[in-house]
Amino acid sequence: MSKEGLVIVYTGNGKGKTTAALGLAMRAIGYEHKVCMLQFIKGSWHYGEMDSSKKLEPNFELIAIGKGFVGILDDTSTREEHEKYAEEALRICREKIFSEKYNVIILDEINYAINLGLIDVHEIIKIIQEKPSNLDLVLTGRDAKEEIIELADLVTEMKEIKHPFKSGIKAKKGIDF
């Protein structure tokens, strides 16, 4: 077995990026690995993994840091508030990554935070390059930057073929959130 940590990217316009990261976390926890998932955008919503993650403690830690979706749906926060939360998220991200307490760290929706200009891609590149060598690092979100894809060991692109929302079906508890 390899002791070398991987950089894994789940990207694309299809559903399943966070779900794939959570599946990887479940597998890792099965081997008594410690997993931390940092969520960069979803902070203001309630979704299933907020409750289910508590059942996986102490091997799984979920930290929802973001201020919620930026500029869409029910976003009432200012750009400055989103930037402040993103800055704090980046600080916590570095703290968790360099603590050497975890086997796997998931940066959920980090690609959205980068693409929205809340986090500089070069900050994440530096984290990838400096991460402990035995840490597996997972990055999720649409439109992963080419620089991140180049650094990754595994990149999976989720491709939307069909989505119930386009047929007027609203997001479903336990499936979508």
- Confidence at residue 79, expressed as pLDDT on a 0 to 100 scale: 72
Does residue 2 form part of some domain? no
The structural domain count of the chain equals: 1
23-66 tens-digit pLDDT: 999 999 999 999 999 998 765 566 777 788 888 999 999 998 86
pLDDT band at 78 (very low <50, low <70, confident <90, very high): confident
Q: How far apart are CA 12 and CA 46, in angstroms?
A: 24
101 in a domain, yes or no? yes
**Per-residue pLDDT at 64:** 87
The predicted pLDDT at position 105 comes to: 98
Long-range CB pairs of 44-49, under 8 A, 24+ apart, other chains included = 44/68, 44/69, 44/74, 44/77, 45/69, 45/177, 46/177, 47/177, 48/173, 48/174, 48/177, 49/18, 49/22
Cβ atoms of 8 and 136 within 8 Å: the answer is yes
- 62-77 CB burial, b ≥16 within 10 A, e <16: bbbbbbbbbeeeeeeb
Q: Domain for residue 176, yes or no? A: no
Residue 175 lies inside a defined structural domain of this protein:
no
| Residue 174 in domain | no
Whether residue 93 lies inside any domain: the answer is yes
CATH classification of the domain holding 27:
3.40.50.300
pLDDT-based confidence at 140, cuts 50/70/90?
Answer: very high
Q: Who has greater pLDDT, 23 or 71?
A: 23
Residue whose token pair is 């990887």: 24
Backbone angles phi, psi at 11, to 5 degrees: -140, -175
Query: Is 172 a member of any domain?
Result: no
Does 1 map to a domain?
no
Q: What is the mean pLDDT of residues 139-151?
A: 97
d(CA 153, CA 127): 15
Domain, as residue range, for 149: 7-167
